[in-house]
Amino acid sequence: MKLAVILLAAYVLDRIIGDPRSIPHPVVLMGKMITAIERLIRRFCSQPRALKVAGVLLPLLVAGGAWGVTAVILLLLSRLAPWLAWAAEVWLISTTIASKGLKDAGMAVYAELRKGNIPAARTALGMIVGRDTTKLESPDIVRGTVETVAENIVDAIISPLFFALLGGAPLAMAYRAVNTLDSMVGYKNDKYRNLGWASARLDDVANYIPARLTAPLLVLCAWLLRLDWRSSWRIVRRDARLHPSPNSGFPESAVAGAIGVRLGGENVYHGVASFRAYMGDPLRIMEPEDILLASRLMLRSSAIFVCLCAVAAILWHGMGG
């Protein structure tokens, strides 16, 4: 019962306040830690083989450190007063979730598109994607926003809740450390190919089960929202594994099928064009309202999943787990 209450409270806290800039965020600290460790590694390792070995140690050190520090903090607080540990665990788990932040980011793009301010919409999209947005027109701005919302349903909501269910705040923080590592060093370019390979692989492994739980969850939400749930399931089975990521194709294809659009296609990164496999069918031109539909799917699926996690926690406790 304790874990169920903590999970529900953490999710509600994120939905209400998100990540206020006035409060120090653990991910910011993780980012600084990763940067410092990377500098230290590069000072002593310059050969590809040495960097590959260091690449294995990096996620173990960062994710293990995040787990250990969180566990120690909660242990010390529990000795002072149990309610302090409960409150801290609620807040720590809430920082690993980003449902409000994801919705707000999508709505920022949507608001500018509704006003017809394409340059401002490009700028808003550029804040949340890595692709070049300076020449995008409305349909591709919408596509980029919907893809980002869909993909991050797993990384920003389902996965942290999944690991919080398995191991409370320490494991949720360890997952967030892995995800932060992937976003900082998990690139296949010359700089990070050797140092970041293990971080990228570990992130893929961590999101493997949550991504595959997300797809049927989105199909269910498509049915609840009276969207095309049959097409959603069909597109998942047809297109999910075409995505270059082993996990991102599942939420993206489910959302594409549900709202009746085609995601994927050509993107430009630092002046270099890159083609991503199509997800869904090109039934119509994408419109700003598609951002609203993707956000509704995200919010509905996250709410259902946290309730399922709470039920699972109660059942596990009832069986003596």
**205-223: per-residue pLDDT in tens?**
999 999 999 999 999 999 9
Of the pLDDT bands very low, low, confident and very high (cuts 50, 70, 90), residue 191 is: confident
Of the pLDDT bands very low, low, confident and very high (cuts 50, 70, 90), residue 187 is: confident
What pLDDT score was predicted for residue 220? 98
What pLDDT score was predicted for residue 267? 93
Mean pLDDT of 49-58: 91
What pLDDT score was predicted for residue 1? 81
What pLDDT score was predicted for residue 46? 84
What pLDDT score was predicted for residue 271? 85
Q: Give 98-161 as a DSSP string.
A: -HHHHHHHHHHHHHHHHTT-HHHHHHHHHTT-SS--TT--HHHHHHHHHHHHHHHHIIIIIHHH
Lowest mean pLDDT among 19-33, 192-206, 221-235: 19-33
Provide the token pair at 200. 């990228």
pLDDT digits (tens, 9 = 90+) for 94-134: 999 999 999 999 999 999 999 999 999 999 999 999 899 99
CB atoms within 10 A of CB 8: 16
Mean pLDDT of 30-47: 90
What pLDDT score was predicted for residue 174? 97
> Quick check: 137 pLDDT over 80?
yes
Calculate the alpha carbon distances from 301 to 104, 223, 247, 258 in Å: 17, 11, 17, 13
> Quick check: 79 pLDDT over 90?
yes
φ/ψ of residue 263, rounded to 5: -100, 175
pLDDT digits (tens, 9 = 90+) for 264-283: 999 998 888 989 999 999 99
Residues 313 and 308: their CA atoms lie apart, in Å, by: 9
The pTM assigned to this predicted structure is 0.94
Pairing mode, if any, of strands 272-279 and 263-269?
A: antiparallel
What pLDDT score was predicted for residue 321? 57
> Quick check: 44 pLDDT over 90?
no
Of the pLDDT bands very low, low, confident and very high (cuts 50, 70, 90), residue 320 is: low
pLDDT digits (tens, 9 = 90+) for 146-185: 999 999 999 999 999 999 999 999 999 999 999 999 999 9
What pLDDT score was predicted for residue 270? 80
Determine whether 259 is exposed, middle or buried from the number of CB atoms within 10 Å of its CB (0-12, 13-18, 19+).
buried
Q: How far apart are the first and last CA of the chain?
A: 12
Provide the token pair at 159. 């996965």
Q: Which helix (H) or strand (E) holds 91?
A: helix 82-96
**pLDDT above 70 as % of the chain:** 99
> Quick check: 234 pLDDT over 60?
yes
